A and B are shown apart, each in its own frame.
Chain A
């Protein structure tokens, strides 16, 4: 169980907005993380360096959180390696096919008032909700 934390959610969300804004103002690029990862993995991708440093920044931020705000990773990760590997594959294929994830469609796209992104967000939230419902209430955690 986790508590509803509206204040830290808003502050954290605003910081994510600051990060999106910084990448836009300085580099002229959208902080859609699946697209950044996908492009970073393309061989001979031009202008690839900032993508790798962005991802390194995420991990550096993660290390900082571990030291200063360990609650960020409290709760651990539930699920077997098999389930997590399969989930990763689905996320990888799905985000490239659909052109974005929670950051690309969910934050950047929504902020750009993109109808395409709004459709994507509605679909992936409904599907994710159904999957969690099935795993928790129908299979009683059988998937994890």
Chain B
């Protein structure tokens, strides 16, 4: 099961990267030209999101009511619904970094394939930022996800993982 899930992850990663590449979302200049409404605006990114959201929306709908995915034990959806300072503050910081570089996480990891030092430095900065944020907010406590599945804390830690899982 673990091997099958790893293989599915690998395949999904390749398809994701090819989608990014075909739409040229791997190009920071294309991203910046989308963000720069005052310049020669390139609205391509809206069409990329439209295509991605459209397909995902249909598949999410079709799997409603299903108990289990084909390989895993459960579907994991984010439980957080509140709109708070953390959500907005995080979006502000992320937006600033995205605008400065033209990179968000997916295209940046994909562009590691170019071997360009700027990409490597961006991804290293991103990893450091993620680890730093976790250490600062969780202190030296064990990571929430690390104990998932152990009966005593399974409920609480599963919720903690869910809370952070995108969206």
The prevalent SS among residues of B at the interface is: helix
Is B166 within 8 A of A104, CB to CB? yes
A142 within 8 A of B: no
The prevalent SS among residues of A at the interface is: helix
Cβ distance B120 to chain A, nearest Cβ, rounded Å: 9
Measured between alpha carbons, how far is A74 from B30 in the docked complex, in Å?
10
Which of under 10, 10 to 19, 20 to 34, or 35 or more describes the interface residues of B? 35 or more
B159 within 8 A of A: no
Is A62 within 8 A of B110, CB to CB? yes
Number of A-B contacts defined by CB within 8 Å: 566
- Contacts A62-B114, A77-B116, A79-B100 given; indicate if A33 touches B75 (C-beta within 8 A): no
Q: Which of B82-106 contact A (CB under 8 A)?
A: 82-83, 86-106
Return chain A residues, CB-CB under 8 Å to B110: 58-59, 61-62, 65
Return chain B residues, CB-CB under 8 Å to A57: 9-17
Binding site for A on B (CB under 8 A): 2, 4-30, 32-33, 35-40, 42-57, 59-60, 63, 68-78, 80-83, 86-106, 108-114, 116-119, 121-134, 142-143, 145-146, 148-149, 161, 163-167
Q: A9-B48, A39-B145 are in contact. List 5 more A-B contacts (CB 8 A).
A: A11-B51, A16-B16, A30-B78, A59-B113, A94-B89
